[in-house]
Homo-oligomer: A and B are copies of this chain.
Amino acid sequence: MTARCMSIPLIMNLPKPIPCCCPPLLSGRLEPEELNDVARIFRVLGEPARLQLLNLIAAQPSQEVRACELVETLGLSQPTVSHHLKVMYEAGLLTKERRGTWIYYRLVAERLAELRSVLS
């Protein structure tokens, strides 16, 4: 229980991650800030309703959905759907485009690719 067991040194001088996109988790040490950023995005994906959203959009021939379609499809209230869309939009996973009364959401494929690279 007491500190007989030595801790791992925090600094190892490994190459800095590329700053433009998410740093890889398995090569090179990540800063606390970076860990927070990556964790935040994974948390966004940690909700079945949001995954279903991605899944639905990807299944559309048009590759987009109107927000209003989702209320009935997901079986959630309109504010809840709106909340999820906002969370995903702010996480960079979706784009939104207003066309008249409706708002269309699309996947950001690059963001997903980025996340994939985090895990490699």
Contact = CB atoms under 8 A, between A and B. Distances in A.
Count identical subunits in the complex: 2
A6 B102 CA distance: 13
B58 A25 contact: yes
Interface in A53-82: 54-56, 58-60, 65-66, 68-73, 78
Contact of A112 (B8, B12, B26, B60): B26
A13 to B, nearest CB: 11
Contacts of A60: 8
Contact of A27 (B47, B58, B69): B58
Question: Top 8 A-B pairs ranked by shortest CB distance?
Answer: A7-B72, A43-B46, A5-B68, A26-B58, A42-B45, A35-B48, A42-B46, A7-B73
